[in-house]
Structure 1
Amino acid sequence: MSERSDRTLDGDEPQLEGGRADQATESFIANRNLLFTVAYEMLGSAADAEDVLQETWMRWVKVDQDAVHEPRAYLVRVTTRQALTRLRTLRRRKESYVGPWLPEPLLTAPDVAEDVELAEGVSMAMLLVMETLHPTERAVFVLREVFGLDYDEIAEAVDKNTVTVRQIAHRARNHVAARRPRAAVSQAQNRAALLAFQRAVETGDLQSLLDQLAPDVVFLSDGGGAVQAALEPIVGADPVAALLTAGLGRIAGTASVKSAQINGHPALIMRIGGQVEGVLAMRTEGGLITGLYFVRNPEKLSRLEQETALRR
C-alpha cells in the first residue's frame, strides 16, 4: 500500500464494526493493485488514479459486505464508474493544457514487462492512442482488451446494456487498430536506441542516435507550462535531429541518465544536479526510432523512486 492509500484506510472512512471493517479492508487491499491499474489505464495519471481509489474505498466501506458475492467484480465496477466521472473532468482540463499532454510515467517492476499485454496497455504510445477514445469507449476497451472482462461485467461497470457494449467494443477496437503502432515493441531495439541517447548525453556525440531516427519520427515533450518544452509535436527526422542537437549540446557533460523500466518498457531518467529533470521513453519499429516521449512536468515526476505495482 502507498502512503496515500494508507491514509485512505485509516483517516476518514466511516466507522465499522471490527469484523466487517476487517473484511472490507482485506478485500480492498487484495484487489488494490488491480484497481489502480484499471484507473491508471483509463486516466493516464497516477495522482488521479489514487484519488479514484480513495473514492472507491469510501463507497466500499458503506456496502453490506455479506451481500457482495464477488468483491473483485464489485470493486472493478465502482472503480470504473469513478474513473469515468474523473475522465470527463480531465478531458475538459486537458483542453487548456499547455503543450502536448503525456501520461504520468511510472517506475514499474520487471514482471510488468513480462506480461506483454499489460506492458503494451500501459505504454506511453498506447496510452496516447487511448486518449483519442471517448470516455466510455476507453473504459470498454480497457476492461475488455486488457483485463479480459466479459461483456456482461463491462455492461454493469459502464451502465450500458450488453448489446451496446459489444458495439462500443467493436468501434473502440477499430479505432485503436487504426492508430496503434504498426508493429510490436522490441525491448531490445528500445534498449539500443536508449543506449545511443545515453551516450549522446554523456559524450556529446549524437551521430549514432541521429542515424536511428525514422523519417516520420515524432517528438513529444510535456512541460505542462511549468518548465521549458516544445509546445507542439516535432515531426520528421530533420526537425527532431535539429532539436536534439541543440538540446543535448547544452546539457552534455552536466546531465546524468539512468536506465529504468518505465510503464513496462526501457526508458531513461535524466537528472541534473541530482534532481530529476525528466523521463524519456521511446518507440522503435524496424530498428528505427519512431516516437520520443519526454515528460518534464514536475507534477508528473513523483513516482520514480519507488516501483508501482500494476496487475491484471
Structure 2
Amino acid sequence: MTDTAMADRIETGAGFIAALDQSGGSTPKALRQYGIEEDAYDGDAEMFALIHDMRCRIMTAPDFTSDKVLGAILFERTMRDSVDGVPVPTYLWQERGVVPFLKIDKGLEEIDNGAQLMKPMPGLEALLADAKALGVFGTKERSVIHEANETGIKAVVAQQFEVALTVCKAGLVPIIEPEVDINSPSKPEAEAILKQAILTHLDALDAHTKVMLKLTIPTEDGLYATLADHPSVLRVVALSGGYSTDDACERLSRNPNMIASFSRALAEGLTHQMSEADFNAALGSNIDKIFAASK
C-alpha cells in the first residue's frame, strides 16, 4: 500500500468517503436501523459480530468500489478484523481501491461552553502505530459544537489540531471533525466562528503538514470554500448530521467544494432481512445519490 497513491486518490479522486465507524455507544442504534433489535443479541461480542457482518455486507456489495467510493472510515474493531479472511484495510485498498481511515476518538466530554471536547485517548500513539502497520491512511476524530460560543468553539478546534499533529507525526493524515449540531438555533453563527478558528490553525501549520476536514454541511452555501482551497487541506468532507439521504445530498450539491462522508445516510433503508439483490439495489441507489451530490 503506498501512501502517495492513497493521497492522490483522496485529493483528486471523484467520489465520497463512507463512514463505517459506529462505535460501542452508537452500535445499538445502527443495528436497530438495520432491523436488529437489542433483544436479538446478548452482550458486546454478539453485538459487534452483527455490526461487522453488516459492514462486510456493505464493503463487499457490487457498487462499493473505487468507481464511486474514495475511502472508508473504520471502527478499531473493524480495522483489526477481516473480510473473507483478508484484513479489512488490505481488502478495501487492494480489492476495492478504497482508502482506509480509522476513527480514533473515544467519545465526548459533557457540554461546556456550548461544545463537547473529545475524551482522553490513552494509548493513542500505539494505536496509530498499529493502524500504520495495517495499511491505514488516516484517522478521524469528532467533537461537537452546540452553539455559537466562541470560547467553546476555539477550545474544540485547539484540541482537534493538537490531536491532528500527533496523528501527522505517526505518518497518518487526520480528518479533523468539529461537527456543528444541525439543530443548533445558532448554527450559522457557530459555523462562521468555526471557519475562522480553523483558518487560524491551518495558517500556523508548516508547509509539509496535510490535514482533512469533516464538517457539517453549512447553512451558508459555499462557506467552507476558503478552507478547501487552503494548501494544508487535502479535502473537505461533509457529515450528514441527521439529515435524510435526500436532504443531505441536496444540501451538499450546493457546496461543490465539499464531498460526502456519510454514515446513517449511506445505510438508510438497508435491513438485515433484505435479500442480497434488494440490499445491493438499495445500497447502490444510496451510493449513486451520494456520489452525484459529491461531484
- Which category of TM-score, normalised to the shorter sequence, fits these structures? under 0.3
TM-score norm. by structure 1 comes to 0.25
TM-score norm. by structure 2 comes to 0.26
Greater Cα radius of gyration, structure 1 or 2? 1
| Structure with more contact order per residue of length (Cα contacts < 8 Å, sep ≥ 6) | 1
